[in-house]
Structure 1
Amino acid sequence: MIHVGVLGATGAVGQRFVQLLANHPWFTLSTLTASDRSAGKTYGSVVNWRLDSPFPESVRDIVVSPTTVDAVKDCDIVFSALPADIATTLESEIADAGVGVFSNASSHRMAADVPLMIAEVNPEHAALIDLQKKNHNRDGFIVTNPNCSTIMLATALAPLMKFPFTTINVATMQAISGAGFEGVPAFGIYDNVIPYIGSEEEKMSREANKILGTFDGTQITGAPFTVSASCNRVPVIDGHTLNIWIDVPATPDEVIEAFRTWQPPFSGLPTQPEKTILYLPDENRPQPRLDRNRGNGMTVSVGRVRDGIRFVAMGHNTIRGAAGASVLNAELLHTKKYF
């Protein structure tokens, strides 16, 4: 039995973690943490459940713990939905205490010995854990998943890495759930597009290079391309859409064939979708409302491949782009005996 906890269990991503872990076939959800005002109360009495799936009754009576190292010391692994300012120190302390941390926070993503993983795209980067344990003299570890929009970008690019390219331009249309339940005031987003998301463009520019870079056993060499991103918040609840331009020396038919034939290096994990990447031939797809829940929210849909090369990618930002990606990373590392 693998005991797991969720740090920051009442927020938007925290609730997604709870949804995905409540009845997980491998992991037993035993610890939930939140702010001091929620600690000591049952999860069912403090959480304002806002997901479009039923509240999992199996977690209703779990008593919420304060978000501390002591609260999770009996867990095998924890999933972190903490804000970056809190995660920076606390996640390191938890790893030092011997617990594996699967983090959705940005705090440690670019650390040289921390895997920044999309399970199906760069599973070989998991070997950084051995270096991290040695470097920090710790029994635990930290594994991060990327920024939500970067996950869609890097996943869509994975089948195209066989073609040489150096420049990526991407414009995002990002759902309001990416800012958290209280992140975007209704009066600000109704009838509107907000052409700025704090630090999002910088994250996309840095993270994709690390994810798609090569690991030689001691370090990652970043992928040989540059990313220029423009990020926008749009009045969509869930589902980030990306318009992508790349200087690939290939025809649209060759790119479509790459999307259709690409296969991840493993299969059969509980959270893994049947199709990690799904090409949609209709000229008006993908669309968030119609396609975000494909593969239980874990499929990245692509379409509108045109000369240039230009195409559209879309995925569910709080599932594939956050909690689901982290849970899938944990499933993969369980099969590799990291915990």
Structure 2
Amino acid sequence: MTVRVGVLGATGAVGQRLIQLLEPHPEFEIAALTASDESAGHPYRDVAKWRIDTPIPEEVGEMTVTATTPEAVPDDVPLLFSSLPSTVGAKVETPFCEAGYVVSSNSSNARMESDVPLVIPEVNGDHLEALEIQREERGWDGALVKNPNCSTITFVPTLAALAEAGIGLETVHVATLQAVSGAGYDGVTSMEIIDNAIPHIGSEEAKLETESRKLLGEFDGTALADHEMEVAASCNRIPTIDGHLENVWIETSEDPSPEEVREAFAEYPSLSLHSSPEPLIHVFEDPERPQPRLDRTVGDGMAIAAGGVRESTFGIQYNCLAHNTLRGAAGASVLNGELLVEEGYV
């Protein structure tokens, strides 16, 4: 069965990635595109400044963009993918859920609310059970699910792999080297970033530190208890186009060898969902890998690349990488949508 879906905020950078992934998707059919009031009523091709390196799908280009309101989206489109700016998402996602739509959202608003599942399907798909609480407490027929920040998605699967292998996580330090596409097309000017690195990304450190603990937390059917590990993050913008590279230091209750860490990464399972890659974590033996230009498209851009595993005075140090607009944004929302369908929430 094909599910008719819509994209909220379809003209933006993540909205374009969503269209790129959804148009050939075997389980989804794009049936609604929304954007600002200025774009509503016009063919998508005329209002989207297309930045993706593949052409606009012909049928999508001819679709008429609607306003971002529940009244403008057909009732037979049960699943919506939201790529709205968080300030807009905070205002409009709730009305869609109240109207009965299921929203898989990349927007940062509401990620840390207790009854809103923050999900990486391979890591904590069981947290979707919180939707029963969400619907009961809020009186919604619809539902709201979030995927994490792109930088959080990059390193949390590696932490989950270690936890799954019985390696107790106590302290995590992470330094990110984040691509400019993470700031959006107009987010960082060339004069700022060329021949430069910017050692601060507003609110990014807090997202890494809080979202990771929620993702690795335990849901007992009534409430979620965050993971007790301590996380400290430092975030840097560097002049790469796509691909967030992260340096991670972990302190554990055990004393794993680098070989045991690499084995835990390599053996961590993916899922039988269309967008979940096999393997989920691609492990490099070469200490110079992963690199953004070479490795951001492993697993069609949906895998996590890891390497440089070694002992350090702090514990274990390693590097990991993910494509920030595929695995870290649009692809993450699509994967959550696949899980929502498989688990019967759509």
Q: TM-score band, normalised by the shorter chain? A: over 0.9
For 1:62 and 1:70, how far apart are their aligned partners in 2?
17
TM-aligned CA deviation for residue 164 of structure 1: 1.2
- Name 2:100's counterpart in structure 1: 98
For 2:56 and 2:300, how far apart are their aligned partners in 1?
17
For 1:228 and 1:159, how far apart are their aligned partners in 2?
19
For 2:57 and 2:181, how far apart are their aligned partners in 1?
20
TM-aligned CA deviation for residue 133 of structure 1: 0.5
Residue of structure 1 aligned with 2:236, choices 227, 232, 244:
232
Q: For residue 203 of structure 1, what is the amino acid of its counterpart?
A: K
SS in 1 for 2:210: helix
Contact 2:44 2:64 (C-alpha < 8 Å) held by counterparts: yes
Contact 2:290 2:307 (C-alpha < 8 Å) held by counterparts: yes
- Structure 1 unaligned regions, length at least 5: none
For 1:260 and 1:4, how far apart are their aligned partners in 2?
34
- Name 2:136's counterpart in structure 1: 134
SS in 1 for 2:321: strand
For 1:66 and 1:189, how far apart are their aligned partners in 2?
35
- Name 1:49's counterpart in structure 2: 50
* Alignment map for 1:14-29 (pairs within 5 Å): 14-29=15-30
* Aligned-residue identity in percent: 50
- Name 1:309's counterpart in structure 2: 316
Q: For residue 335 of structure 1, what is the amino acid of its counterpart?
A: E
TM-aligned CA deviation for residue 282 of structure 1: 0.9
- Name 1:201's counterpart in structure 2: 205
> How far does the alpha carbon of each residue in 1:97-133 deviate from its partner, in whole angstroms, 9 at most, with x for none?
0000001011111110111000111011010111100
Contact 1:72 1:78 (C-alpha < 8 Å) held by counterparts: no
For 2:319 and 2:53, how far apart are their aligned partners in 1?
25
- Correspondence 1:321 to 2:328: yes
- Correspondence 1:10 to 2:16: no
Q: For residue 24 of structure 1, what is the amino acid of its counterpart?
A: H
For 1:24 and 1:334, how far apart are their aligned partners in 2?
14
For 1:236 and 1:158, how far apart are their aligned partners in 2?
27
- Name 1:146's counterpart in structure 2: 148
For 2:278 and 2:269, how far apart are their aligned partners in 1?
10
* Alignment map for 1:1-339 (pairs within 5 Å): 1-74=2-75, 75-161=77-163, 162-248=166-252, 249-264=255-270, 266-267=271-272, 269-307=273-311, 308-339=315-346
For 2:168 and 2:84, how far apart are their aligned partners in 1?
37
SS in 2 for 1:273: coil
For 2:118 and 2:334, how far apart are their aligned partners in 1?
14
Contact 2:106 2:330 (C-alpha < 8 Å) held by counterparts: yes
For 2:191 and 2:279, how far apart are their aligned partners in 1?
37
Contact 1:73 1:99 (C-alpha < 8 Å) held by counterparts: no
TM-aligned CA deviation for residue 41 of structure 1: 0.7
> How far does the alpha carbon of each residue in 1:223-246 deviate from its partner, in whole angstroms, 9 at most, with x for none?
110110000000000000000000
TM-aligned CA deviation for residue 93 of structure 1: 0.9
TM-aligned CA deviation for residue 54 of structure 1: 2.9
TM-score by length of 2: 0.95
TM-aligned CA deviation for residue 184 of structure 1: 0.4
Contact 1:169 1:244 (C-alpha < 8 Å) held by counterparts: yes
Q: Runs of 4 or more off by more than 4 Å in structure 1?
A: none
Contact 1:99 1:140 (C-alpha < 8 Å) held by counterparts: yes
TM-aligned CA deviation for residue 251 of structure 1: 1.0
Contact 2:32 2:74 (C-alpha < 8 Å) held by counterparts: no
SS in 2 for 1:317: coil
Contact 2:308 2:319 (C-alpha < 8 Å) held by counterparts: yes
For 1:226 and 1:101, how far apart are their aligned partners in 2?
31
Q: For residue 338 of structure 1, what is the amino acid of its counterpart?
A: Y
SS in 1 for 2:290: coil
CA RMSD across the alignment: 1.0
TM-aligned CA deviation for residue 270 of structure 1: 1.7
> How far does the alpha carbon of each residue in 1:66-90 deviate from its partner, in whole angstroms, 9 at most, with x for none?
1112122522011111111111121
SS in 1 for 2:121: coil
